Amino acid sequence: MIDLKYEDQGQLQLVDREEVEDEDDCFEAIDKLIAQGINAGDIKKLQDAGIYTVNGVMMHTKKSLTSIKGLSEAKVEKICEAAEKLVNVGYVTGSDLLIKRKSVIKITTGSQALDELLGGGIETLAITEAFGEFRSGKTQLAHTLCVSTQLPIHMHGGNGKVAYIDTEGTFRPDRIVPIAERFGMDAGAVLDNIIYARAYTYEHQYNLLLGLAAKMSEEPFRLLIVDSVIALFRVDFTGRGELAERQQKLAQMLSRLIKIAEEFNVAVYMTNQVIADPGGGVFISDPKKPAGGHVLAHASTIRLMLRKGKGEQRVCKIFDAPNLPEAEAISFFHFPSFIYLKNPLKISIFKKLILNH
C-alpha cells in the first residue's frame, strides 16, 4: 500500500503552447487555412460551428459541413482540399505511429499500484471508462485526477487544465482542497484551472462538448471528465420504443469525445453506471453489467470496473483494454490507495485472508 508522494511544493507550472515540445503532435489551428486560400469569413463560420482546428475539419463529414449556414458544397470541397494539404489523413508506417505515440501523456491517479495497473496512469488520446455501483469510487477518482492532471510532466502529471462536465451534481470543489494539499499544490490555483459545467439534458451535455473546442484550442487542457456519461440518456429516453434513438444519440456523444481526445491530445475520463443483468444466472455472484450496451463498450479504450469490497475497501479491475493484462488493485479505507495484485491465484488467496481478518 504505497501512495505516490511528491517532495516538490511548487505551484502549478502551466506553460504556453509555444513552449510545448513536439507541437506538431498537438494540432493545426484552423487559421492556417487562410494561407491555403480559404477566406476568413468561412473560417469564422467553422468556428461558430465548434470547429477550431484543421484536424477538426477532417473529423467531420462533408454532409455535416454543408449543413453549416453559409457553406456551400463548393466551399466545403475547397476547405477539405486545403485541410488535406496541412494534415496527413492517409496511411503511415508502424514506425511513424510509434513515434506519434510518444506524445501520449500518462496522468497519475495518485496511487502507485493503480498506476501500475494502468501501465502508468490515465492516457491522453484515449477514453478511460470507470463503471460500478454508487459509492464504488468513480467520482472520487475523478476528483483526484482534477488535481494530478495539473502536476508537471516530470511529476507524472499532465501539466494542463481540466474540464469537468457534471450530469449528476456530484462535483465538490471543497473536496479538491485536501487532495491538492496532499500533492503539495495551492488549492486556489488548482481550482482556478478547473472549468466546470452542470448538464441537465443530453442535448445540453452534447452542446457543452461542442463549446470545449474553443477553450482547448486556446489553453493547454489535458483532461476532460464526464461524470456520468449515461445518466441523462437514461432519464431523457424511456422504454424500448426510444432505445434505438437513445443509442444513436449516445453514439454521437461518444464520437465527439473520441474526437476531442485525439484532436487536442487530452485524456477523457468518463464514469458509467451499472444495470442489473437478469440473464446473469444464479451462478453469477454479481449479475451487473455496465449501462450503454455495445455502443458504449466499443467507444471506450480502457474500461475499469470499480466495486465495493469489505468495509472501506474498493477494488479496481481492468475489464477491457487493448494493451493491459487482466488484474486488480485493492484499496484500504480511502480511495485511491491500492495494493496491486496481478496473479489470479494471489488475488484469490488475498481475498480469503481479508475475509478471515
Q: Measure CA 198 to chain center.
A: 17
pLDDT digits over 252-290, tens only?
Answer: 999 999 999 999 999 999 999 988 766 655 555 556 789
The three cell numbers locating residue 90: 492517409
Lowest-confidence segment of 60-74, 140-154, 276-290, 334-348 by average pLDDT: 334-348
How confident is the model at residue 313, as a pLDDT? 74
With cell 486545403, the residue in question is: 82
267 contacts 124 by C-beta, under 8 angstroms = yes
How confident is the prediction for the chain on average, in pLDDT?
83
How confident is the model at residue 8, as a pLDDT? 45
**Highest-scoring range by mean pLDDT, 215-229, 264-278, 320-334:** 215-229
| pLDDT above 80 (res 115) | yes
Residues in contact with 12: Cβ distance below 8 Å, sequence separation at least 6, in sequence order: 150, 151, 185, 186, 189, 190, 193
How confident is the model at residue 79, as a pLDDT? 93
How confident is the model at residue 239, as a pLDDT? 86
How confident is the model at residue 357, as a pLDDT? 41
Average pLDDT over residues 13-29: 50
b/e map of 83-96 (b: 16 or more CB within 10 Å)?
A: beebbeeeeeeeee
Average pLDDT over residues 201-205: 95
How confident is the model at residue 339, as a pLDDT? 54
CA angle in degrees (0–180, nearest 5) for 334-339-344: 130
How confident is the model at residue 112, as a pLDDT? 82
How confident is the model at residue 145, as a pLDDT? 95
Decide which of 43 and 17 is more confident.
43
- Compute the distance between CA of residue 17 and CA of residue 292 in angstroms, rounded to an integer: 36
How confident is the model at residue 227, as a pLDDT? 93
